[in-house]
Amino acid sequence: MKKFEHGGAVYRAAHEWGVDIDEVLDFSANINPLVTVELLNRWTAPYMKQILHYPDVEYHELKEAICNYHQTNREQLVLGNGATELIHALIRYLKPKTARLTAPTFGEYEKALCSVGAEIELIGTASECLTVDLDRLFDDSEGVDVIFVCNPNNPTGKKICTDALKEKMSILHKNTTCIIDEAFIDFTIEGEKNSVVDMLSQCPNVIILRSATKFFGIPGLRLGYLMSDNQRLVESLTETMPVWHINVLAAGVVIEGLKDKDFHDRTRRYVDTERKFIEKGLEGLGIHYYKSCVNYLLIKSPIRHPLDQAMAPYKILVRSCENYNGIRENIYRIAVRTRMENERLLFALNRIMEETTC
């Protein structure tokens, strides 16, 4: 079993490099590049006075905003202090004996499954393009308690065809629970059109995970939620969650952010433009990368020694993917950030290659 780690280790990097946290340029975490302190101040301003009170234990306003956005109902919704909390809560509730995962994919699925002793079957991707093999993931699922699907997949940035996924959901074995993680679906150029939320009422054994952390840029506040038509599951999970586990500022960001349609549109256009800018720059440097549809992509390091260490003098964090199952050595994930920051990344890569050649 590989060690479970995540990107975004800015505090550790700042300590090791002897710099202030603001000097660390973090390409290791996939956070919306358009979220600024000024924007968060605008979104949270109406909710600052609520800090003086306990949060609403029912989270009426937050749940209403989420349900209106997805056209679902409160009885299908469970809130979490980030999607990761919900992944672990789900597995503790389901207690699966067997599970299937794509390799590579988000490490918290495996970590949660290992915590209950589940037997895990890893379904590899096509190495040349890292696409998910839906047939192998879903077919002959009798006897498989849980299937995890990350769409778009993390760390590859590959999107599964929505129609193909819906077809698999419709023929899912009745005793198999499918957990579909749509944490990065908002970053795709088509947005909600790629979601399978509209299938919930037809598929009671399907659970959809969403994360507000990435799209609304609040990894330090954290908020996630799941949606399911399984009333027993929703009620049981809701009852086991700690009281006041969502803070009022995180709730406020999501309430305001879901209403800000211009922000959604600008983000998708910006991410698409900047990802293509990075791809063109990588091509110019002769660095191999894997096509993505979201705000991150995988690259093959142009040097033999660890790229993350070579980036340290430039105060840039990139995500080594060596602890992902199904990933070859010397593969790194980089986020899509602002134009100026993306230029700094490409400049650093160019200098590192020149220094290595010399």
Cβ atoms of 158 and 131 closer than 8 Å:
yes
- Give the tokens for residue 45: 């301003």
- pLDDT exceeds 60 at position 270: yes
Q: What is the pLDDT of residue 241?
A: 94
- pLDDT exceeds 70 at position 26: yes
pLDDT digits (tens, 9 = 90+) for 113-133: 999 999 999 998 866 778 999
Q: What is the pLDDT of residue 2?
A: 53
Q: How far apart are CA 126 and CA 327, in angstroms?
A: 11
Q: Using the structure block, give the residue that is written with the tokens 């009671």.
A: 204
Q: What is the pLDDT of residue 1?
A: 44
- Give the tokens for residue 339: 């134009």
Q: What is the pLDDT of residue 6?
A: 77
38-259: CATH number: 3.40.640.10
**What is the mean pLDDT of the segment spanning 202-218?**
96
CATH 3.90.1150.10 boundaries in the chain: 10-30+262-357
Percentage above 90 pLDDT, the chain: 91
pLDDT level of residue 288 (50, 70, 90 thresholds): very high
pLDDT digits (tens, 9 = 90+) for 76-124: 999 999 999 999 999 999 999 999 999 999 999 999 999 999 999 999 8
Q: How far apart are CA 233 and CA 239, in angstroms?
A: 10
Quick check: pTM over 0.85? yes
- pLDDT exceeds 70 at position 222: yes
- The secondary structure of 45-103 as a DSSP string is GGGGGGGGSPPPTT-HHHHHHHHHHHT--GGGEEEESSHHHHHHHHHHHH--SEEEEEE
- For 172, the 3-state DSSP assignment is coil
- pLDDT exceeds 80 at position 3: no
Query: Phi and psi (nearest 5°) for 239?
Result: -70, -30
- Give the tokens for residue 4: 């479970």
Cβ atoms of 4 and 107 closer than 8 Å:
yes
Nearest Cα to 24, choosing from 5, 7, 3, 41?
7
**What is the mean pLDDT of the segment spanning 301-314?**
95
Average pLDDT, the chain: 95
CATH 3.40.640.10 boundaries in the chain: 38-259
Angle at 139 between CA 134 and CA 145, to 5 degrees: 100
**In whole angstroms, what separates CA 307 from the centre of its chain?**
23
317 burial (CB, 10 Å; 0-12 / 13-18 / 19+) is buried
| Topology classification of domain 10-30+262-357 | Aspartate Aminotransferase, domain 1 (3.90.1150)
Instruction: Give the number of other Cβ atoms within 10 Å of residue 248's Cβ.
Output: 22
Nearest Cα to 275, choosing from 164, 354, 159, 355?
159
Q: What is the pLDDT of residue 176?
A: 97
Instruction: Give the number of other Cβ atoms within 10 Å of residue 19's Cβ.
Output: 12
pLDDT digits (tens, 9 = 90+) for 144-199: 999 999 999 999 999 999 999 999 999 999 999 999 999 999 999 999 999 999 99
Q: What does the chain come to in residues?
A: 358
Range of weakest confidence among 6-10, 270-274, 306-310, 331-335: 6-10
Strands 98-103, 119-124: pairing is: parallel
